[in-house]
Structure 1
């Protein structure tokens, strides 16, 4: 009997990015290994689960993000930013080391880490580790809008963990180059597997009222470059400014730029929906005039695929991994140049011939990103590591 332990911590609470990926990977592992001689175990917040239903029940009972957020907001008022974020990370480590004490009584043949949190206290209890690295912000601190404390956290907590991985999965050639440069791994140790469009994104629900025609923004991290989008929108012709709005979805992910927060709050053409369900996000993609993906840096950019899949035009930055994923199926801008953003934004919103071309190319481009094929490649690496 082979034993696999999967870190399912990212699947708790309001699931975004890595959490969505973790769930997809867990379901693929269940499909392949359940009722075989491979035993799947899931770890989440100091507990072990021997089957998926038990994990899903725990997910529904997990501590609400609102409670965690309110506690963090109190600390934010009393601590300097750098000390606040370091305190959060140290608290996370101390809490989970305490919860995990004595938890791992057996040895696992393989540990799968869908993100970079790590299972604290499992050292010496796994024969091999497969790590999934979505990005390495310290490789470009400016583009990722990192604070100095971010580098400290990666240097002391995350880099040492990645160095222990026996095999690594990443999702673009851009990130693969960063991994090879940072860790000096052999090229055969790092595997690029593109994400695929997940079918469960296709259910839909009614849109909130009074959205009208809108530009969709998915995610509120500082690298999403929302402040420059707002500045560019203000440079559009009056007719376009009257016709369109900017709709933002997502939760705060790390330190937020105060100027960006103020720009979002003070702009009457901006609607901030906050965290939305998969079904509502699917509806937003289907009705958006275009998706803004003018990020300064990304590890992949799954929303580009989801937008192309439903015929939504993508306006993307021309940096990082965006051209690798979008190809010739979108419109590009210089994310640091507000005038260029405004120019390309106006084209993407009003040039019908260009929009028709992008939509057609998008339908073809997204076919290259097959979900089943992506998961098959994941399982192939897992099987080789078990052997």
Structure 2
């Protein structure tokens, strides 16, 4: 059995998509050594990040390359590892092609109805990609939430969707020494003895950054002004910085990116809690990462986050800064609650491993190959 795995272009910079590809490339050959797994990707130089080159590579060069590799290697199945690349399936046998859908956010971008020339061009491409996703033989969804969206918004047959959660064991943080803790705080710019609230992810609209900032400002009033906010992985827009200034929290907000998984795990472990007010998640990997290392999570009950967090964190129903701040204050002030959340989170996170993800992906391959 020969399976062609199709990852994103290396210049995309989508860390969670790269992680998914890396973990499947690691585990699939270990679990099925008798099978041949072929990686059909394009390695682009740094200048490939430029929009025109990236567009040409994503929509022309990569599909052509994958189709050639499939023919030459005699592929039995193809697995497109990110729904953003579902269009590649148009160059392949659709009945031997699987796509992993991590979310259906492209549909919601279309539904937003933005009318600029740039949005019009983007939406034309999104419609084409979503139509390609609709035509594939089988879809792997990260969550029941994403499965429901595939059925509701794309009309994709429910019996051709398999839900396979992501793993979280790429982050591990054993107890830190005093020196390591001091080093992490120095890197973050958080004074010794101060606590910090963590947010991990991008700063795009669905991450609800204005609500995060307002909730943090309110939390400082409720729980004490020795609190800092550390945002990892995004880049605040100018209007975010303007809000930070208006709220009077500029001196206690930190932002950084480019951390290794090992370093990120130490940051999670050092945080007092993670605040995650995202309004849309196809899975919510940062939530699972925090659970894995025992960082309490306060999150908005939106998208797939409730599936991941369960009762191992605090889910807030109202998308209001006040509600998020009050929930976070309870976690900071109630040590027994905090200890119970940490215990539940670590226990629940143990069920989410990349080995199990890969094992279930193999089951999909076997079923599709047999049909």
What TM-score do you get using the length of structure 2 for normalisation? 0.81
Matched with 2:148 is 177
**Over residues 187-236 of structure 1, what are the superposed CA-to-partner deviations in whole Å (9 max), with x where a residue is unaligned?**
22101112222245448975150324211111123222122111122223
Q: Spell out the pairing of 1:87-98 with structure 2 (5 A cutoff).
A: 89=55, 92-94=58-60, 96=62
Contact 2:231 2:256 in 1 (8 A): yes
In 2, the alpha carbon distance for the partners of 1:25 and 1:344 equals 37
Q: Spell out the pairing of 1:288-299 with structure 2 (5 A cutoff).
A: 288-299=271-282
5+ long unaligned stretches in structure 2: none
5+ long unaligned stretches in structure 1: 46-57, 76-86
Q: Spell out the pairing of 1:36-55 with structure 2 (5 A cutoff).
A: 36=34, 38-45=35-42
In 2, the alpha carbon distance for the partners of 1:147 and 1:280 equals 38
* Count of matched residue pairs: 348
Given candidates 190, 195, 199, the residue that maps to 2:161 is: 190
Whether 1:154 aligns to 2:126 is yes
Whether 1:230 aligns to 2:213 is yes
Matched with 1:211 is 190
**Which fold has the larger relative contact order, with Cα–Cα distance below 8 Å and residues 6 or more apart in sequence?**
2
Higher share in helix:
2
Contact 2:283 2:305 in 1 (8 A): yes
Matched with 1:83 is none
Matched with 2:331 is 348
Q: Spell out the pairing of 1:2-151 with structure 2 (5 A cutoff).
A: 2-9=1-8, 14=13, 16-34=15-33, 36=34, 38-45=35-42, 62-64=44-46, 67=47, 71=50, 89=55, 92-94=58-60, 96=62, 105-106=71-72, 107-116=74-83, 117-118=85-86, 120=88, 123-124=91-92, 128-141=96-109, 149=119, 151=123
4+ runs of 1 displaced by more than 6 Å? 98-101
Contact 2:201 2:286 in 1 (8 A): no
What TM-score do you get using the length of structure 1 for normalisation? 0.78
In 2, the alpha carbon distance for the partners of 1:286 and 1:130 equals 36
Contact 1:145 1:223 in 2 (8 A): no
Whether 1:311 aligns to 2:290 is no
**Over residues 51-82 of structure 1, what are the superposed CA-to-partner deviations in whole Å (9 max), with x where a residue is unaligned?**
xxxxxxx6xxx534xx566x46xx9xxxxxxx
With over 3 angstroms needed to count, the CA separation of the structure-2 counterparts of 1:334 and 1:263, relative to structure 1, is farther
